Chain A
Amino acid sequence: MKATSDKRQATSTTKIFNFCWHEVAEKEKEQIKEESKKLLNEFASKISKIKIRKPKNENKTNENKTGTRVEGDGWNTDEEFREITFANAPFVENDSIITEKATWKK
């Protein structure tokens, strides 16, 4: 039987081979590099087409166009992360977690 669908196979730029383990020679590494780049470009191009609603805090991230981080006024705490951290905390008083080094135990 062939793979999932002809529609998806048609977009594949990769060659066929068996996936069993073998040692990888330098020449094969070059082929893998070329092929994986092609595949990842296909993937990136495909997800570029979807309309993604920006998350609420998208404009507030501390990054600039150079790829280096700009230290801003501090992070906006992700609510889910805050909830989990507080749930795991040994002692919580109002809006603070009280703990000492090596005592993070319930």
Chain B
Amino acid sequence: MEKITLKQKVEQIKKGKLTAIQNVLNFSKKIATPKTKDLNIFLKLNENAIEQAKEIDKQIKNKNAGKLAGLCFAVKSNISVKELETNCASKVLENYVSPYNATVINKLLEEDAILLGMTNMDEFACGASGETSAFSPTKNPRNTELIPGGSSSGSAAAIAAELCDFALGSDTGGSIRNPASHCGVVGLKPTYGAISRYGLIDMTMSFDCIGPLTQTSDDAKLIFDIIKGQDNFDQTTTDTPTHRHTEHRTLGLVNTKNFCDKKIANLIEEKTKLIAEKNNWKIKKINLPLDIAIETYYIIVYTEFFSATRKFDGRRFGKKIEDTAGPEVIRRIIGGSEITKAEYEGKYYRKALGAKNFIKQQFEKIFQEVDAIILPTSPRLPHKIGEKISTQEMYNYDITTVLPSIAGLPAISIPVGKIENKDIGLQIIAPHFQEETIFKIAKQFE
């Protein structure tokens, strides 16, 4: 049976072919099965979902329901939801109930979407595998032995296991795109400033973005259009400026030699050539500064994460982070604390900010010649949960996703095929605020 888009599903709900209550019950039954529980996707469920669905069904009858009437969604556990535990998958914030909604949550509720629950994630979004959660790793629904990717592991897995209509995640250096790739779903990291971060428990505030995870790029566009926009509570936000879209596109295909599994690179190149030929688009081979991507990104992340976690001192929010968090969070705090010492002034963070400017300049040059950039979302196939790897190997999972994060550019991951029966994601990057270009190109690949 062909899958329907979220827009079509809302039409069906509004026509009475499916009620909001039925939709909630269908997902709830699936979430409650032992097989699904074993995937460890949800950390907390919304006990008021049925009551909310009843209200929405009434609004549908009165013909005043919103654009997402009756659709069910899941939220990563670092996005604040009033009266629900927003624990960042950490024992530091265990039992912390948020007193307010993030702006994105308010926008979705205003359009009559129904929240099903809070999803598992890497602790404080520190991880690329989904393994660092203090409440056990999420399993990949496509192959339960494998990591689902992270840090929005539960949100991506919830879409892959069809446990909700859409999910929200956060992306600092690939945390939406990377799990989307490993779970075979769509994940969008918007332009920095396109979606409000108000209510997001920050990891690295100069890179953090909230974005949707969905089955298709059409669905991602629907959610993006609702949650985007200027917000008085986040002064980095702005409304999306209008752009003229070029009809004759040139795609920049990134040379990933030495940085990426050959099989993955070949699949991406093959698919890109096929789509370019079909649409009469040109392909231009380009180089990105992949050799300094991880180095620049992690120095900035360690520094900003150390600063962001100073509020978790055990007085106002849960427990003291240094005494309670797991090894990856500790690594970033200790590392950040070291490199921000006055004696190292100018040796780490300032150098990384210089490299950040260099990376931005490289993208500006490239976007003078191409309309969008294509490269693999993940440079390698996912490892098995619990498998031993080095810190640098773990960080290298991000090598193809951190550059657009550093430059604040929008990027999407869409599924394009399988290698060794494992899902492969293709990443499309566009200039600032050109998410529309991304959606149009993504649709051709689907």
Contacts and interface: CB of A to CB of B under 8 A. Distances in A.
A40 B235 contact: no
Place the interface of chain A in its size category.
Answer: 35 or more
Contacts, number: 167
Given A29-B334, A84-B238, A87-B238, A4 B391 contact: no
Interface in A17-69: 17-24, 28-29, 32-33, 35-37, 39-40, 42-44, 46-48, 50, 52-55, 67
Interface in B24-67: none
10 contacts: A3-B392, A18-B131, A21-B326, A22-B327, A29-B330, A36-B338, A44-B295, A46-B295, A52-B358, A87-B239
A75 B175 CA distance: 35
Nearest to B360: A55
B131 A20 contact: yes
Nearest to A52: B354
B129 interface: yes
B394 interface: yes
- The 3 A-B residue pairs with the shortest CB-CB distance, nearest first, are A36-B335, A12-B392, A43-B295
B403 to A, nearest CB: 13
A30 to B, nearest CB: 9
Contacts of A54: 354
A52 B357 contact: yes
A4 B355 contact: no
Given A21-B131, A32-B327, A67-B342, 18 more contacts: A1-B381, A5-B260, A9-B392, A12-B391, A14-B391, A18-B387, A18-B388, A21-B133, A22-B326, A32-B331, A36-B331, A39-B391, A39-B392, A43-B294, A52-B357, A55-B357, A84-B237, A87-B238
Interface in B228-251: 230, 232, 235-239
A16 B132 CA distance: 15
Place the interface of chain B in its size category.
Answer: 35 or more
Interface of B: 123, 127, 129, 131-134, 136-137, 193, 230, 232, 235-239, 258-261, 289, 291-292, 294-296, 298-299, 302, 325-328, 330-332, 334-335, 338-339, 342, 345, 347-348, 351-352, 354-355, 357-358, 361, 379-381, 385-394, 396, 399
A90 to B, nearest CB: 9
A33 B338 contact: yes
- Residue of A20, A35, A87 with highest tally of chain B CB at under 10 A: A20
A22 B329 CA distance: 11
A16 B380 contact: no
Contact of A14 (B123, B193, B392): B392
B138 to A, nearest CB: 12
A62 to B, nearest CB: 14
A56 B390 CA distance: 39
A46 B295 CA distance: 7
A104 B232 contact: yes
A4 B379 contact: yes
Nearest to B241: A87
B390 A15 contact: yes
Contact of B259 (A5, A39, A47): A5
